[in-house]
Each structure stands twice: as structure tokens, then as C-alpha cells.
């Protein structure tokens, strides 16, 4: 082929550590229509890039909440963080996601996980299978949803040509390998979950091992997945050590110094927290950061520093 007729090569995606930051907030409080609209407008005014809802009993209903959010906001992307795959039939999930993508003008990002709270399965009358079987169902769901989005005969059609971007989140090695191989975004929880659904924080070294696992599993992909981290708490303070002491019962034996190095706790002044996130992007490639609703206002000054 002559030089003049050669097709240009696609741009090389940036390495994870150089990607621009994105910031999301997971809204966990149920609300009236007016309260929900006010919260969504606050999310947008604080500069968040993604407005998210979880999939827990007692939390906002994911898809109608996102459609309502689209009506009162213009800029943020809208996502599930994350849907419990065990609650969903994959074909019906693909229908709900495609319809929501259409009704939100192509702003949907679909987050999926294996589900981990036994009490919620029991409350819903759904069998709580062993972890391996729940991950098997998550994998079937990922593959089937992708297949349905690619099927041009499947209705409703999503607005985004290939369907909504897919995030798969968790901490277990098998779930993270699945995410690394198939998802657009890998979501790290960086926490261990007990049989009764209680979360304890993973040490920094364990989190680093999970990041290495994901990078190895994704090494052959043409476009590397974006890396997301769920922050458990944002604490604006001048006394960092005092602020982390209440977390010692959830620290898996870590002391105060180790807790201050824990990636999912952001503790200090806004400037210190911004610097921590810059270091974590450089070291681990974490460019997409999600906080929980109780930390939304505290995180606003950090977004200002990093946007």
C-alpha cells in the first residue's frame, strides 16, 4: 500500500496515570421529587462529572432516579454504582439500560457488581448463592448485555451506538479480572466484605496488588480501561490522626499511620487531599474517583483544585 493511501492509525489512549480526573458521587438517600431535583442540581453545581445511584434495598430506585436526574441537570453523566447483578435478568436489564440511555440523551454509564449483602437477597426472596456462583452470573450478565446492545434488532435502542459504557466493580480477584478483560471502567472497592455484608478497609499494599492484577489482565486490550476508586470518607481537617481514629475498628489491624495511607480515606485539608489523589493517579492510575453522598459537600473544594 502506498503512503498516500494508508489509513491513519487510531490515537493511542493515554496511560492510566495521565488521564484527566473524573469525579462521581453515589447518592444513597431516598427523596421526594423536589428533594431529589435539588440534590441533583447541587451535584452539578459542585462540579461532579458523574451522578450515580446504588442498587440497595432502601436506596433510590436506580433507573427512574437517573431519568429524573437527567430532567434537572445538563452536564453530568448518569450511572449505576453498582447494580447487583443477582437481582437482574440480563435481557431485562439490557432493556432497562437501553431505555434509560435513550431517555437521558445518551448519558448513562452502567455499573455492575456481583452483590454481597446476604440480608438484601433474603429480603427480596432471592437465593444468596456462594461467591463463585454470583460472579458466574455477573459474567453471564456482562456478556449478555453487551450482546444485546450490539444486536441492532434489539429494542429499545440505546442512544450511545455501542450502548452505555460498562463499569464492573469489586475487590475479589476474579471479579477484577472480569472487569479488566471486558469493562470500560474497573471499579475498585478496596475493601473486604464479611459474610454479613460489613466492609473492612484493605491495606494499601493489598490494593496495590489488585491494581497490578488488573493491569496484567488488561495488558492485551487495545484501549486500557479507566480505573475508578470508591472513597469511603472525605474528612476536611487539620488533625489527620484524630480524624482517622474512629476507623480503627474497620482497619484490619492497621494503625493510624497505615490508615492515613489507605487509598479510600481522604483526610486532611483540601490541598492535602488533592495532592493524595494526584499521587494515587501517578502510582495506581486512578483517575475516576467516586465519593459517597455524605462526603459530597466536603469534596467540592477538592474538585475545584483538581478540575
- Three-class DSSP labels, 227-245: EEEECCEEEECCCHHHHHH
| Rg value, the chain, Cα | 19
Q: How confident is the model at residue 252 (pLDDT cuts 50, 70, 90)?
A: confident
pLDDT surpasses 80 at 155: yes
Q: How confident is the model at residue 8 (pLDDT cuts 50, 70, 90)?
A: very low
Lowest mean pLDDT among 139-148, 165-174, 247-256: 247-256
Grid coordinates given for 126: 432471592
pLDDT surpasses 80 at 257: yes
pLDDT tens-digit series, residues 16-58? 667 999 999 999 999 999 999 999 999 999 999 999 999 999 9
CATH fold of the domain at 16-306: TIM Barrel (3.20.20)
Grid coordinates given for 139: 459474567
211 close to 150: Cβ distance less than 8 angstroms: no
Look at residue 193 in the predicted model and tell me its pLDDT.
Answer: 78
Residue 40 burial by Cβ neighbours in a 10 Å radius (0-12, 13-18, 19+): buried
Look at residue 18 in the predicted model and tell me its pLDDT.
Answer: 77
Q: How confident is the model at residue 2 (pLDDT cuts 50, 70, 90)?
A: very low
Q: How far is CA 185 from CA 129, 137, 180, 237, in A?
A: 26, 19, 8, 31
Residue 95 burial by Cβ neighbours in a 10 Å radius (0-12, 13-18, 19+): middle
57 close to 124: Cβ distance less than 8 angstroms: yes
pLDDT tens-digit series, residues 184-240? 999 999 988 776 667 889 999 999 999 999 999 999 999 999 999 999 999 999 999
98 close to 158: Cβ distance less than 8 angstroms: yes
pLDDT tens-digit series, residues 49-99? 999 999 999 999 999 999 999 999 999 999 999 999 999 999 999 999 999
Grid coordinates given for 51: 451522578
Amino acid at each position: 500500500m502506498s503512503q498516500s493511501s494508508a489509513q491513519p492509525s487510531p490515537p493511542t489512549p493515554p496511560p492510566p496515570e495521565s488521564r484527566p480526573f473524573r469525579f462521581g458521587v453515589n447518592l444513597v438517600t431516598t427523596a421526594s421529587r423536589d428533594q431529589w431535583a435539588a440534590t441533583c442540581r447541587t451535584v452539578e453545581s459542585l462540579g461532579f462529572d458523574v451522578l450515580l445511584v446504588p442498587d440497595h434495598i432502601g436506596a433510590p430506585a436506580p433507573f427512574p432516579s437517573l431519568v429524573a436526574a437527567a430532567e434537572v441537570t445538563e452536564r453530568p453523566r448518569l450511572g449505576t454504582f453498582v447494580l447487583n447483578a443477582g437481582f437482574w435478568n440480563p435481557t431485562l436489564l439490557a432493556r432497562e439500560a437501553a431505555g434509560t440511555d435513550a431517555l437521558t440523551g445518551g448519558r448513562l454509564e452502567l455499573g455492575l457488581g456481583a452483590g454481597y449483602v446476604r440480608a438484601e437477597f433474603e429480603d427480596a426472596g432471592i437465593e444468596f448463592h456462594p461467591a463463585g456462583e454470583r460472579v458466574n452470573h455477573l459474567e453471564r450478565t456482562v456478556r449478555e448485555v453487551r450482546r444485546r446492545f450490539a444486536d441492532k434488532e434489539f429494542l429499545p435502542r440505546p442512544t450511545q451506538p455501542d450502548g452505555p459504557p460498562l463499569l464492573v466493580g469489586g475487590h475479589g480477584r476474579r471479579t477484577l479480572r472480569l472487569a479488566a478483560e471486558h469493562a470500560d471502567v474497573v471499579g475498585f472497592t478496596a475493601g473486604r466484605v464479611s459474610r454479613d455484608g460489613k466492609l473492612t478497609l484493605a491495606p494499601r499494599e493489598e490494593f496495590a496488588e489488585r491494581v497490578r492484577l488488573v493491569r496484567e489482565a488488561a495488558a492485551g486490550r487495545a484501549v486500557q480501561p479507566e480505573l475508578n476508586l470508591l472513597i469511603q470518607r472525605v474528612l476536611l481537617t487539620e488533625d489527620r490522626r484524630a480524624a482517622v481514629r474512629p476507623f480503627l475498628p474497620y482497619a484490619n489491624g492497621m494503625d493510624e499511620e497505615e490508615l492515613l495511607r489507605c487509598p479510600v480515606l481522604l483526610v486532611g485539608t483540601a490541598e492535602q487531599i488533592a495532592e493524595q489523589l494526584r499521587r494515587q493517579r501517578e502510582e495506581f492510575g486512578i483517575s475516576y474517583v467516586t465519593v459517597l453522598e455524605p462526603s459530597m459537600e466536603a469534596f467540592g473544594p477538592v474538585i475545584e483544585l483538581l478540575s
